[in-house]
């Protein structure tokens, strides 16, 4: 993904259910980009089963939040960074 060639975000909030390329694929792309390996990845998803959290973990997300219920947790995570 060319956008990641020119930016180095500290945190990426990434929806899982995206068209064309899902959030898991994008997370793996970010993790395989040398200058982005330490970027904090936060999955934002409507899916909250244990299986969904495991998929996010395997895709190297640092956190998995369920929308819209975990807005306070997101604020807490961001404040701690």
Number of structural domains found in the chain: 1
* Residue 33 structure tokens: 């980009």
Confidence of residue 56 (pLDDT cuts 50, 70, 90): very high
What is the mean pLDDT of the segment spanning 8-28?
91
Confidence of residue 42 (pLDDT cuts 50, 70, 90): very high
> What is d(CA 16, CA 22) in angstroms, rounded to the nearest whole number?
6
**Predicted pLDDT of residue 1:** 61
**Partners of 14 in the beta sheet?**
43
**Predicted pLDDT of residue 49:** 87
Q: Using CB atoms within 10 A of its CB, is residue 8 exposed (0-12), middle (13-18) or buried (19+)?
A: exposed
CATH number at 70 reads: 3.40.50.2300
Tell me which residue range forms the domain holding 48.
Answer: 3-80
């Amino acid at each position: 993904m060319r956008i990641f060639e020119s930016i180095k975000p500290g945190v990426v909030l990434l929806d899982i259910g995206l068209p064309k390329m899902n959030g898991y694929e994008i997370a793996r792309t970010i993790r395989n980009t040398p200058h982005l390996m330490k970027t904090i990845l936060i999955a934002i998803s409507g899916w909250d089963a244990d299986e969904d959290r495991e998929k996010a973990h395997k895709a190297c997300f640092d956190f998995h939040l369920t929308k819209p219920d975990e807005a306070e947790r997101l604020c807490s995570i961001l404040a701690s960074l």
